[in-house]
Amino acid sequence: MVQEPYFFLSYARKDSPDEFVKRFYDDLVLELRRIGADPAAQPPFRDVEGLGLGDDWARVLGAAVGHCRAFVALYSPAYLNSEYCGKEWTAFRARLREYRRETEIDVPALVPVLWAPMEGELPEEIARFQYHEADMGPEYVTQGLMQILRTDPMGPGYRRAVQKVAARVKIAADRFRLPFTSGLDLGEVRGLFPVAGRRRAAAPGAGHVEVFLAAGVADELPEGRHRSEYYGRSPREWTPYHPPKDPTVARRAQRVIMESGPYTSSVEIVDAELSSRLDESMANNQTSILLIDPWAVRNPAYRDVLADYDGQNRPATGVLVPCHDSDEESGDEPIWEDLSRVFWRNWRRQKDPHDPLFRVRVGGDEFDDQLAVMLAVAQNRLMEMEGTTSLRTPTGPTPPPMAGLTIPGPAIPPDMPPRFPYLGAAPTPRLDAAAPAQRPLGGPLVPKDPDDDQ
């Protein structure tokens, strides 16, 4: 007898703590039984339960994908960046296409679940499968089912989502029989994923906002930092406020952006390409927001890039540095002194009421308002720049300098910090003032591979 798993649960192990996936899987099976389905006759497939010691896992997974009646995909950024999730999704999609070719019927057997919020636009092939319904609630769209399960596992939002998924699975499993793909070896499937690494820029003037994060991770805290509860496995999981209103500060920022107007947004991690990405956003008439963890300046990979940003003119980019009152470590002045020396050109703007694009020590109760104001000002400046026509210089050779008419620039105050005040780095030579003595940042730095943050 051919095993036809009632449904196949496809998910990214990297992005999904197993206890939450198992809880959702068990609740889905219970809900199927409650509505009259009989998954016990053809047990559902979840890789942890379906693989035994010594199994050829690519063939075992292939057999399950090639014979299952329904396919439940837990969408997340990690899912779209997983090679084998892409292979599973592509192989099952091929079965749907074959059934469509034979019967001209589209079977709703691929059931997407928004497990964690997606970033940017989904590829067209994936976006065509609807992953939410109107009555599933706004929390499902903005937070994803895993966060709802984490915070309120007995609440109506989670139960409603499980019921919707179970109903879709039962229809597909009981009413249709998709063609089998026997002998399927997922190792030989060319999957549609990964796609999460493909940055898709919005069209110029599309009201898109780029959010850039510079934050630490829990397993490699900066020198002097001991409070790991504010961090996760990736900078994307940074939560400077407790208890958080949203799963992460990046998600909170995206919610504020969405509520501020007809804007879309995406989240990136600050890296060596920050300058070129900001140039790209500007070329596309888009604004940008940098969310900076003050402790990030003690990471050399972040510090150099942020200091380089400080020396640029970015009138349509805002910088916001959150800080929670209960975070005693971040109340120490040395970390803010370190930050001020990296952002020494922008630092004087932090309290300027007419220039709200650089704000530090932003508390949880003022984050939404300050970000909304920052976004509005950045958008207004972008429109002003867009409507300004630059003057053209005459063509021809550059004229020679006229003796005696060279006008020196303004003198730089002798107490101004050096251009690159990094530990172990020499200051930029100055022609009009002596460079002040180096002032080391707070404590030794721990080297960190920037790839760990991706």
Distance from C-alpha of 46 to C-alpha of 138, rounded to nearest angstrom = 28
More confident residue, 88 or 332: 88
More confident residue, 345 or 39: 345
pLDDT at 299 over 80: yes
pLDDT of residue 99: 94
pLDDT of residue 138: 79
pLDDT of residue 409: 43
Helices (H), 237-284: 249-260, 274-283
Beta strands in 217-269 (DSSP E): 264-269
8-state DSSP, 429: P
Return the minimum-mean-pLDDT range out of 92-96, 210-214, 331-335. 331-335
Share of the chain above pLDDT 70, in %: 78
More confident residue, 163 or 423: 163
Summary mean pLDDT of the chain: 79
pLDDT at 424 over 80: no
Arithmetic mean of pLDDT, 160-186: 92
- Segment 111-159, tens digit of pLDDT: 999 998 876 667 777 877 877 676 787 788 888 899 899 888 889 999 9
Do residues 322 and 359 make contact, with C-beta atoms less than 8 angstroms apart?
Answer: no
pLDDT of residue 126: 81
Place of tokens 């172990």: 424
Three-state DSSP at 433 gives coil
**Predicted confidence band of residue 367 (pLDDT cuts 50, 70, 90):** very high
**Predicted confidence band of residue 341 (pLDDT cuts 50, 70, 90):** very high
- Segment 371-398, tens digit of pLDDT: 999 999 998 888 877 654 443 444 445 4
Q: Which residues, other chains included, contact 379 with Cβ-Cβ below 8 Å and sequence gap of 6+?
A: 261, 287, 316
Distance from C-alpha of 368 to C-alpha of 330, rounded to nearest angstrom = 20
Strand partners, 74: 113
Arithmetic mean of pLDDT, 337-355: 88
pLDDT at 323 over 70: yes
**Predicted confidence band of residue 246 (pLDDT cuts 50, 70, 90):** confident
pLDDT of residue 3: 84
Among 159-173, 325-339, 438-452, which range has the highest average pLDDT? 159-173
pLDDT of residue 48: 52
pLDDT of residue 121: 66
Arithmetic mean of pLDDT, 438-444: 43
CA-closest candidate to residue 332, choices 211, 224, 454, 445: 224
- DSSP code string of 366-413: THHHHHHHHHHHHHHHHHHHHTPPPPPPPPSPPPPPPTT---PPPPPP
pLDDT of residue 343: 94
Residues in the chain: 454
pLDDT of residue 445: 38
Three-state DSSP at 73 gives strand
Place of tokens 């596309």: 284
pLDDT of residue 404: 45
Share of the chain above pLDDT 90, in %: 37
pLDDT of residue 17: 59
Arithmetic mean of pLDDT, 344-354: 85
Arithmetic mean of pLDDT, 15-30: 85
pLDDT of residue 342: 94
Helices (H), 284-366: 300-310, 333-342
pLDDT of residue 366: 93
- Chain-centroid distance, C-alpha 166: 29
Arithmetic mean of pLDDT, 82-103: 92
Q: Which residues, other chains included, contact 363 with Cβ-Cβ below 8 Å and sequence gap of 6+?
A: 322, 323, 324, 325
pLDDT of residue 204: 39
**Residue 433: how many CB atoms within 10 A of its CB?**
12
Q: Are strands 358-362 and 317-322 parallel, antiparallel or unpaired?
A: parallel
Arithmetic mean of pLDDT, 67-79: 92
**Predicted confidence band of residue 168 (pLDDT cuts 50, 70, 90):** very high
CA-closest candidate to residue 140, choices 47, 251, 58, 55: 251
Distance from C-alpha of 74 to C-alpha of 80, rounded to nearest angstrom = 10
pLDDT at 434 over 60: no
Place of tokens 């499980």: 162
- The angle, 0 to 180 degrees and rounded to 10, between the axes of the packed helices 300-310 and 274-283 is 40
Distance from C-alpha of 308 to C-alpha of 451, rounded to nearest angstrom = 20
